[in-house]
A and B are shown apart, each in its own frame.
Chain A
Amino acid sequence: MPLFGKSQKGPAEVVKALKEAVNALEKGDKKAEKAQEDVSKNLVLIKNMLYGTSESEPQTDIIVAQLAQELYNSNLLLLLVQNLNRIDFEGKKDVAQVFNNILRRQIGTRSPTVEYICTKSEILYTLMSGYEHQEIALNCGTMLRECARYEALAKIMLYSEDFYNFFRYVEVSTFDIASDAFSTFKELLTRHKLLCADFLETNYDKVFNHYQRLLNSENYVTRRQSLKLLGELLLDRHNFTVMTRYISNPDNLKLMMNMLKERSRNIQFEAFHVFKVFVANPNKPKPILDILLRNQDKLVEFLMKFHTDRAEDEQFNDEKAYLIRQIKELKPLPGH
């Protein structure tokens, strides 16, 4: 036993103490202030076990394994996430740090925390709903993105009904929260290529109905970011099937043509990169061809004048010249 200071508590004790404190905090009676303090104190203890301090090294693997096991058994991770808004400022950050560290823990090829969370998917849903609460949104965001790195967890989130809330979160008026939500949203849709492609294919209608709203958003940042992400998604070869489906819908073409005429040059430019796919498609369905034919002359004229100051960007100019040639050469399908 050390001569000075308190005796060191083992993982089991710390976890038990923290759980009691969080429970007291949840009840919110007159002891809440004391509970608040206890929560912070015990969180720091756990954090120091995992990360070490300036004076001490992180604890040995055995202690960390015990700690993780206690956290699983006591269901404390869920409890912490559920009560995150009641914990003080530093404590919230400690929760995120502890959570992410435990999540990354590996035994050989296994990630026990990932397996644990798969059985407790409520943790993920609670974290996702964290974007509803301003004071914990960013802490939840860091934890969510850490979770999204694991395919199994990303899958649960993508296929949950709560995923569609992201279309609302990315548009909230608080800029930092909206941006954070967007980066999580993007991570979920792009990180695991095959998973994402499968998800987009099976939920095509629902996702793109929601997506349409983002593209029509009042918010400039949302419109621009979502258009850029749409371009990235469609141009990625993994999403070939989704792309072919997207570019055979005349409504999508109309939307892009309108976006080409947006006031913002940046949006025009992003829209160009989606629009070009419609034109380059060697097997254009009739409705698409009809729209292009109806606007043939106008489109050629428009593209001739489109972003002429980008002389430096050879690739863009090549693509533009290609599109102009393609549109000029468009002919109605035989027999019509």
Chain B
Amino acid sequence: MSENENLTDRNGSGDIMEPASENGDTRNRIFSVDSAEELKPINAAENAEIWLKKFEETGLSGVDDDLETVNIANFFHRVDSDQIIYNMKKKRLKVIGKYVMGDLLGEGAYGKVKEMMDSETLCRRAVKIFKDKKLKRIPNGEQSVIKEINMLKKLCHKNVIRLIDVFRIEEKKKLYIVMEFCVGSLQAMLDSAPGKKLPPRQAQEYFNQLIDGLEYLHGQRVVHKDIKPGNLLLTLEEQLKISDFGVAETFDFFAKDDTCYIGQGSPAFQPPEIANGSESFAGFKVDIWSSGVTLYNFVTGLYPFEGNNIFRLFESIGKGIFTIPKEIEDPLRDLILGMLRKDPEERFTLQQVKQHPWVNANPPASDYRVLIPPIKNDIWHNMTILPYLCDHYYENDSNSEASYDECGMLDDAEYITERELNAAIENHKRSAGHSNGNAQKSNQSSTSSSTKNRGRKKRPISCMAVRNMCMCKQS
């Protein structure tokens, strides 16, 4: 337990490790970036230290902003590729308060979402990190975040994302919102699925959870207004969580009805009354409509209304005329039609949806199930905190048995050349193709090439089985 004591020690002193780099993955960037986020031009004569850009990350996000400030001439200094030496940065443990940081889960306009572990309860968490600077650029950004926090505090339901902790770190100018751990959104799952749609049984499972969550929200006088696959998250146990209450609205306790005046959700999921610019509309029926579009999207992979731009789209929604593909048959067809009635008065109520035959049916199990898409090729969604902890605490023990990181490269080799890097990338691509094959139907060429190399390929060694840890929940 000495590691643990050590850990809490750090918390106690409030010491935040590695204050210079804001997220510990500076190693992902080609240029070394210091805390002030200014680029240092590379001085090849002194030392060709280039930070390894991880190939999983595409684009140079975060670097582009400051490109103008750099002397371009320094960039085009020719160096032969085999002379470049990459510095392998070790995974640096970062602790914020009682939380241990893990890898990136996603990125939004406001900042990043990362995995975290509560070092006291050992629960996996997700944290939304809001940068003050970015938040200020978004109109009403700060207000909507505060509104969202206050709203989430009051909500407690198995299908609504739970807020666990909120704190600020002044010197970093960042706001941390700690939430239940989810592995991905339904949008990401749909994107990875064949035909971008779900088999009927799976669609029904998620839809029913959505309806349960929505019933709770409406009971708490909350209109979400932005129901869409991108805002529906999944836990490792495939429990659906409604998230993103940025544009949600809570009615006054004594409000007579659910009249709303502002609609701000995603255009493709907006009902005709909003598309036609009505001054006021019934709030709960908006959520029914967007859930209907979401269901349509689940089962067809398409959207009922399309348009090249928002005007065309709203024009098409405003007319309320759409078609459902022929293969969608009756109980489901009827449900979608009921939820997408143009007139909100005629549109199904949540109660009607709940009692609908399709919702209560027992569809036959299909031969396949869409899996939660892997993050960085890890289909098991292992806890990403562990490598950091291992590196930090077991660094010296690993000498006897060289450990490999996920690219299959030697961890303790500090410097490698381009050629070695390419070889490792190649190797990694093969293994990635192979592991993807478990999730979906793999293309045959990659599997055949990986079988050839099976003898040489070394699997990454993990120190502990962590899959069970995701199950820990607060009582």
- Mark A residues whose CB is within 8 Å of B: 106-109, 111, 151, 193-194, 235-238, 277, 280-283, 314-315
Q: Using Cβ atoms and an 8 Å threshold, which residues of chain B touch A282?
A: 254
Q: How far is the CA of A151 from the CA of B359 in the complex (A)?
A: 14
Question: In the complex, are the beta carbons of A315 and B361 less than 8 A apart?
Answer: no
Q: Which of A109, A237, A281 contacts B357 (CB 8 A)?
A: A109
- Which of A193, A280, A281, A282 has the most C-beta atoms of chain B within 10 angstroms of its own C-beta? A193
Residue of B nearest to A195 (CB): B351
Q: Which of A109, A111, A194, A281 contacts B351 (CB 8 A)?
A: A194
Q: Which of A109, A151, A237, A315 contacts B220 (CB 8 A)?
A: A237
Question: In the complex, are the beta carbons of B219 and A108 less than 8 A apart?
Answer: no
Question: In the complex, are the beta carbons of A236 and B355 less than 8 A apart?
Answer: no
* Residue B417 interfacial (CB < 8 Å): no
Q: How far is the CA of A108 from the CA of B358 in the complex (A)?
A: 9
Shortest distance between the CB of A289 and any CB in chain B (Å): 15
Q: Which 5 A-B pairs have the closest CB atoms?
A: A106-B362, A109-B357, A109-B361, A236-B219, A237-B221
Q: Using Cβ atoms and an 8 Å threshold, which residues of chain B touch A314?
A: 150, 153
Give chain B's interface residue range (CB within 8 Å of chain A): 10 to 19
Q: Which of B218, B253, B351, B355 contacts A280 (CB 8 A)?
A: B253
Q: How far is the CA of A237 from the CA of B251 in the complex (A)?
A: 10
* Residue B331 interfacial (CB < 8 Å): yes
Q: How far is the CA of A237 from the CA of B361 in the complex (A)?
A: 28
Q: Using Cβ atoms and an 8 Å threshold, which residues of chain B touch A281?
A: 254
Between-chain CB contacts (< 8 Å), 22 pairs: A106-B360, A106-B361, A106-B362, A107-B362, A109-B357, A111-B360, A193-B219, A193-B351, A235-B220, A235-B253, A237-B218, A237-B220, A237-B221, A237-B251, A277-B253, A280-B253, A281-B254, A283-B254, A314-B153, A315-B150, A315-B153, A315-B154
Known: A106-B360, A315-B153. 6 other contacts (CB 8 A): A106-B362, A108-B361, A109-B360, A237-B221, A277-B253, A283-B254
Shortest distance between the CB of A263 and any CB in chain B (Å): 27
If A109-B331, A280-B253 touch, whether A236 touches B220 (CB-CB below 8 Å) is: yes
B interface: dominant SS: helix
Shortest distance between the CB of B322 and any CB in chain A (Å): 25
Q: Using Cβ atoms and an 8 Å threshold, which residues of chain B touch A107?
A: 362
* Residue B38 interfacial (CB < 8 Å): no
Residue of A nearest to B357 (CB): A109
Shortest distance between the CB of B317 and any CB in chain A (Å): 28
Q: Using Cβ atoms and an 8 Å threshold, which residues of chain B touch A283?
A: 254
Q: How far is the CA of A193 from the CA of B362 in the complex (A)?
A: 23
If A109-B360, A109-B361, A193-B215 touch, whether A151 touches B254 (CB-CB below 8 Å) is: no
Q: How far is the CA of A238 from the CA of B215 in the complex (A)?
A: 10
Shortest distance between the CB of A333 and any CB in chain B (Å): 18
Bitwise, B218-255 to A at CB < 8 A (1) or not (0) is 11110000000000000000000000000000010110
Q: Which of B150, B253, B362 contacts A108 (CB 8 A)?
A: B362
Q: Using Cβ atoms and an 8 Å threshold, which residues of chain A touch B361?
A: 106, 108-109
Residue of B nearest to A105 (CB): B362
Q: How far is the CA of A235 from the CA of B156 in the complex (A)?
A: 14
Question: In the complex, are the beta carbons of B153 and A109 less than 8 A apart?
Answer: no
Residue of A nearest to B217 (CB): A237
Question: In the complex, are the beta carbons of A237 and B219 less than 8 A apart?
Answer: yes
Q: Using Cβ atoms and an 8 Å threshold, which residues of chain A touch B251?
A: 237
**Which residues in chain B, 395-429, are within 8 Å of chain A measured between CB atoms?**
none
Q: Using Cβ atoms and an 8 Å threshold, which residues of chain B touch A111?
A: 360
Q: How far is the CA of A193 from the CA of B253 in the complex (A)?
A: 17
